[in-house]
């Protein structure tokens, strides 16, 4: 019986999409049987924590048709192929909020949903912001929302923040993790 290397399961493309692909992955179980699981292969994304000062940040109210709700979120976006993550952070911040940053710094890396996707998200802090014009996609329904540390604490306690990537970023903000990171400038 042929057992595939568990570190390297066999895959075939089920769907090619504009932002990601779906693969069928064959996994050999501990019982020796082969199981097929669908997995989203994603180029990765960034989440941006735009700080106006140490206690104030720029968030967005983003209408998400997939869940039929407008969510309070941090700006974020998918990486373009061969685009450095830092460049994606600068670009997405401008596109979604209109703010330009003098510097971005990597704080954390995390998988968005490792049970179904390989999307690696990189959390960046953006500093020294200058307000400008946004460049939102035609399908994006976004409004900027300036928030204080106290408002963020309240919104989390009330369950108003329901987006996982935003929770990761806001917990880093509240913990002060983002105030001690190494700065990278462009």
Contact 119, 112 (CB under 8 A): yes
- For the chain, where are the E strands, in sequence order? 10-16, 21-28, 34-41, 45-53, 56-64, 69-73, 76-78, 100-111, 120-130, 142-148, 184-185
- Whether residue 161 is found in the same domain as residue 114: yes
Residues 58 and 82 in one domain: yes
Regarding whether 26 and 118 lie in a shared domain, the answer is: no
Cα 12 to the center of its chain, rounded Å: 26
pTM, full prediction: 0.85
Summarised one tens digit per residue, pLDDT across range 129-141 is 999 988 888 888 8
Please, are residues 104 and 125 in contact by the beta-carbon 8 Å criterion?
Answer: yes
> Which tens digits make up the pLDDT trace of 60-107?
999 999 899 999 999 999 999 889 999 999 999 999 999 999 999 999
For 12-43, write each residue's pLDDT tens digit.
Answer: 888 898 888 888 999 999 999 999 999 989 89
- Which residue segment(s) compose the domain that 67 sits in? 45-185
Same domain? For 51 and 35 the reply is no
| DSSP secondary structure letter of residue 182 | P
């Amino acid at each position: 019986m042929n057992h595939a290397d568990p570190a390297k399961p066999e895959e075939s493309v089920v769907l090619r999409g504009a932002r990601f692909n779906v693969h069928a992955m064959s996994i050999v179980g501990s019982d020796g049987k082969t199981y097929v699981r669908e997995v989203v292969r994603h180029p990765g994304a960034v989440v941006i924590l735009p700080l106006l000062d140490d206690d104030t940040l720029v968030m967005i109210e983003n209408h998400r048709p997939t869940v039929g709700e407008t969510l309070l979120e941090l700006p974020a976006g998918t990486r373009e192929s061969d685009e450095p993550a830092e460049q994606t952070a600068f670009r997405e911040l401008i596109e979604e909020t209109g703010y330009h940053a003098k510097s971005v710094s990597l704080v954390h890396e995390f998988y968005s949903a490792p049970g179904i996707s390989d999307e690696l998200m990189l959390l960046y802090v953006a500093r020294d912001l200058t307000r400008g014009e946004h460049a939102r996609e035609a399908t994006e329904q976004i409004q900027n929302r300036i928030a204080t540390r106290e408002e963020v604490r309240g919104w989390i306690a009330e369950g108003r923040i329901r987006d996982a990537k935003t929770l990761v970023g806001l917990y880093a903000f509240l913990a002060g993790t983002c105030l001690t990171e190494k700065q990278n400038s462009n």
